[in-house]
Amino acid sequence: MAQLPYVEPEDADAVTAQIYNSAEQRFQMVLNIFKITGHAPEMAEKMWQIFFDILQDGQVDWPTKELLILKSTKMGDCLYCVTQHEVVAERLGVSPEKQADIVGVEYRHSPHYTEAERAILDLTSHVVLDPEQIPSDVWARVHEHYDDGQIVEIVATIGAYLQVSKFGDALGVELEAVFHGHQPVLFAKEPPSSKAAQQHFEHFLANTPSA
Amino acid sequence: MPATATVEQPTPDVEATFELARNHFGHVPNLVRVLASNPTMCASVTAFFAQALRDGRVDWAFKELVILKTLRAIKAYYSYGAHERLAIDLGNSAERVGDLANSLWRTSPHYTDAERAVFALVEQIGIDANAVGDDVWDELKRHWDAGQLIELNALITTFVMIGRTGDALGVADPNLFSRSVS
């Protein structure tokens, strides 16, 4: 059970209903994490606009942003985000084999990754672990492949997904039933690091038929 | 030195965002100028940032303490000094700012039980958001309604984003507000 009730579409005010409509158009469903924000529509409206902006081709293409999302939310032990974005990434053409190599530093040697992707995944680790001290050689490699507008989009995407993953996890927002049959990729390769996240994952596996 | 350019002359597609920033902050903060290399992200991140920094369902003075506690909890200090001054300008005592440190807030007489419940949430999000216990939420729900709790949780996690984004991009904002806030 999440810590606060979900605001269902029939109970939503005008602002929230507009957010739900946009979410449904973009993602074919209103996810639980949208529904829990219906208690504060004025915050929800501003918060979700960031994600509507990220989840499309921008100055950085959408599949590349999915790599950043998977990396940052995996490091944050967010089962809710990782599971949903494994599904999104595969729909966008990121194979499960490529996804699996995002854990740890596997991507540095994986044939599925370009030098540009390796640079921004290294950057992601630094933004998650210690944004105050990002080594200059990491920045030099990122600048080789991306311009300033793209770098802003890359860092904002990482930051936004740290935001939403902690927002949802703190509230105990539950994965929707539609994801229950999904065969996990990232957490199957490297289990969650925290005990609480490990319990969430075991509960999820108990709901997942074996392949 | 920021990792990317600081936009001094706005292109037409960021002019509206700069205008929003000037109206809200009194000037265009450096974070907004650095984000401006990407007009789309600049617009949505600035709008969320500005929405957080005002009276809402929770008053702004307390929200500044929550922001300071969050930046400490995640060890990202973009604009920490600016938020310390804002907290004071909005009416917090020096004790209320200083006692946020470490675990002093748990015993300090300068906070209410309602405020302490929020700091407990911030600390736990900093350690592991997956492990926020029912005890933390039960205490929060005794003092705050659902709308306030969404605002507070959004505020905390917004500064997870703003702190990390500002730090990663190497932005310094010695002052966020040049207009009067009191």
Terminal-residue alpha carbon distance, chain A: 27
- Any alpha helices (H) in chain B, and if so which ranges? 12-25, 30-35, 39-52, 60-74, 80-89, 94-98, 104-107, 113-128, 134-143, 146-168
Calculated CA dihedral for residues B125, B131, B132, B136, nearest 10 degrees: -130
Residue A206: predicted pLDDT: 87
Tell me if B164 and A131 make a contact (CB, 8 A cut-off). yes
What is the rounded distance in angstroms from the CA atom of residue B61 to the CA atom of residue A179? Answer: 41
Which one of A48, A126, A148, A194 would you mutate to disrupt binding with B, by most B Cβ within 10 Å of its Cβ? A148
Tell me if A197 and B128 make a contact (CB, 8 A cut-off). yes
Sign of CA dihedral A49, A55, A57, A59: positive
Residues in chain B with CB shorter than 8 Å from the CB of A127 are 164, 168
When pLDDT is averaged across residues A184-194 and rounded to a whole number, the result is 95
Q: What is the pLDDT of residues A60-116, one digit of tens each?
A: 999 999 999 999 999 999 999 999 999 999 999 999 999 999 999 999 999 999 999
Tell me if A158 and B168 make a contact (CB, 8 A cut-off). yes
**Residue A121 touches chain B, beta carbons under 8 Å:** no
Q: Which of B149, B150, B160 sits opposite A163 (nearest CB)?
A: B160
Q: What is the pLDDT of residues B117-165, one digit of tens each?
A: 999 999 999 999 999 999 999 999 999 999 999 999 999 999 999 999 9
Q: Quick check: B68 pLDDT over 80? A: yes
Measure in Å the smallest separation between the Cα of A27 and chain B Cα atoms.
Answer: 19
When pLDDT is averaged across residues B27-52 and rounded to a whole number, the result is 97
Domains by residue range for chain B, with CATH: 15-52 (no CATH), 60-169 (1.20.1290.10)
What is the rounded distance in angstroms from the CA atom of residue B143 to the CA atom of residue B117? Answer: 8
- The answer to whether B37 touches B63, Cβ cutoff 8 Å, is no
Measure in Å the smallest separation between the Cα of A84 and chain B Cα atoms.
Answer: 17
The residue type at A153: E
Q: Quick check: B113 pLDDT over 70? A: yes
Per-chain mean pLDDT for chain A: 95
Tell me if A49 and B132 make a contact (CB, 8 A cut-off). no
What is the rounded distance in angstroms from the CA atom of residue B45 to the CA atom of residue A53? Answer: 10
Residue A210: predicted pLDDT: 59
Of residues A47, A199, A59, A176, the one with CA closest to residue B44: A47
Residue A211: predicted pLDDT: 47
Q: What is the pLDDT of residues B19-38, one digit of tens each?
A: 999 999 999 999 999 999 99
pLDDT-derived band at A207 (thresholds 50, 70, 90) equals confident
Residues in chain B with CB shorter than 8 Å from the CB of A195 are 131
Q: Quick check: A49 pLDDT over 90? A: yes
Of residues A89, A132, A93, A95, the one with CA closest to residue A110: A95
When pLDDT is averaged across residues B67-89 and rounded to a whole number, the result is 96
In the numeric block, the tokens 């005794």 are attached to: B142
A57-198: CATH homologous superfamily? AhpD-like (1.20.1290.10)
**Residue B1 touches chain A, beta carbons under 8 Å:** no
Residues in chain A with CB shorter than 8 Å from the CB of B164 are 127-128, 131, 158-159, 162
Burial of residue A10 (number of CB atoms within 10 Å: 0-12, 13-18, 19+): exposed
**Residue A158 touches chain B, beta carbons under 8 Å:** yes
Residue B126: predicted pLDDT: 94
pLDDT-derived band at A209 (thresholds 50, 70, 90) equals low
Q: What percent of chain A has pLDDT over 70?
A: 99
What is the rounded distance in angstroms from the CA atom of residue A3 to the CA atom of residue A123? Answer: 33
Residues in chain B with CB shorter than 8 Å from the CB of A77 are 128, 130
Q: What percent of chain B has pLDDT over 70?
A: 100
The residue type at A67: L
Residue B1: predicted pLDDT: 79
Per-chain mean pLDDT for chain B: 96
Q: How many CB atoms lie within 10 A of CB A204?
A: 19
Q: What is the pLDDT of residues A106-153, one digit of tens each?
A: 999 999 999 999 999 999 999 999 999 999 999 999 999 999 999 999
Q: Quick check: A172 pLDDT over 80? A: yes
Tell me if B41 and A156 make a contact (CB, 8 A cut-off). yes
**Residue B20 touches chain A, beta carbons under 8 Å:** no
Which one of A7, A11, A45, A47 would you mutate to disrupt binding with B, by most B Cβ within 10 Å of its Cβ? A47
Cα angle, residue B63 at apex, residues B57 and B64 outer, rounded to 5°:
155
Query: Taking a contact as any Cβ pair under 8 Å apart, which residues of chain A between 28 and 57 contact chain B?
Result: 36-37, 39-40, 42-44, 46-47, 49-50, 52-54
Cα angle, residue A163 at apex, residues B77 and A199 outer, rounded to 5°:
115
